[in-house]
Each structure stands twice: as C-alpha cells, then as structure tokens.
C-alpha cells in the first residue's frame, strides 16, 4: 500500500507540474502573441478545461502523499504533499479574483486592462508551477532514498 501511495503521489504531482509548466512556457506565451481580445477568448475555455484536470491531480497527490507519510513514509512525503496541496488554496485565494475579473460579464476583452489581467494571471500561475515542481522534485528525491 505504501508503494502504491508513493506512486500515485509522484504521478499526480508530475502530471500536474508538467501541465503547469507547459502552460507557463508554451501555451500562455503563444496566447499572448494574439491580440488581447483573441487571447482572452482563448484563455477562458482553456482555463475551464485545465481546472477539471489540475484540481483533481493536486488533491490526489495531496491525499496520497499524506497517506504515504502516515503509513510509514518519511515526514518529507507530508511536506511534498503540502507543497502540491498548496496550489488549491493559492488558486482559490490568489488567482480566482483575477480569473473572475477576466471572465466578468461586460468586460472589454480588447482593453489594456484585460491584457494586464492576462499578464498578471501568468505570473500567478507561475507560483502554482513552482509549487508543483518543488513537490515533484521532493517526492522523487524521497523515492530515490528508499
């Protein structure tokens, strides 16, 4: 059971981190080469789809990492779990206001304010990327020690 929990924690964190890194390094920079209205229109469905992938991955890695720590894994498994789990409250508290502002009904999608919000969103999303990469690296280091 311990090996399974460790595997799930690593896999979920790794997939999350890979997707987050792709968004920051590839998808969002490409999106921002578009005019602001097109960028905002592309961002909205992309954000909605990514939510359904990334939130469960973060939650799954959190639960599996905590579980691994509780049934015999080192305390480091709990620390890595907290790192990946931190993306959930960070998203709700730190990123959600920006998301809501971008999606606000009546927003002028071509405005400079919308462009600034999309740029802010990328910086905030980079925090999620960093947290998930840190969790993945810690999980992998712990797995290699075992």
Average pLDDT, the chain: 96
86-123 in b/e form (b: 16+ CB < 10 A) is bbeebbeeebeebbeebeeeeeebeeeebbebbeebbe
pTM recorded for the entire structure: 0.94
Q: Residue 73: pLDDT above 90?
A: no
98-140, pLDDT tens digit by residue?
A: 999 999 999 999 999 999 999 999 999 999 999 999 999 999 9
5-34, pLDDT tens digit by residue?
A: 999 999 999 999 999 999 999 999 999 999
Q: What's the pLDDT score for residue 146?
A: 72
Query: Of 16, 15, 11, whose CA–CA distance to 86 is shortest?
Result: 16
């Amino acid at each position: 059971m311990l090996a399974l929990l460790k595997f799930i924690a690593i896999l979920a964190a790794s997939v999350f981190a890979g997707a987050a890194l792709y968004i920051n390094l590839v998808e969002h920079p490409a999106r921002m080469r578009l005019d602001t209205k097109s960028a905002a229109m592309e961002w909205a469905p992309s954000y909605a789809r990514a939510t359904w992938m990334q939130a469960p991955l973060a939650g799954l890695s959190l639960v599996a990492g905590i579980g691994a720590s509780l049934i015999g894994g080192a305390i480091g498994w709990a620390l890595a779990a907290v790192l990946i789990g931190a993306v959930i409250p960070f998203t709700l508290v730190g990123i959600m206001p920006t998301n809501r502002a971008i999606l606000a009904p009546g927003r002028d999608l071509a405005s400079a304010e919308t462009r600034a919000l999309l740029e802010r969103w990328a910086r905030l999303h980079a925090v999620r990327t960093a947290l998930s990469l840190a969790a993945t690296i810690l999980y992998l280091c712990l797995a290699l020690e075992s």
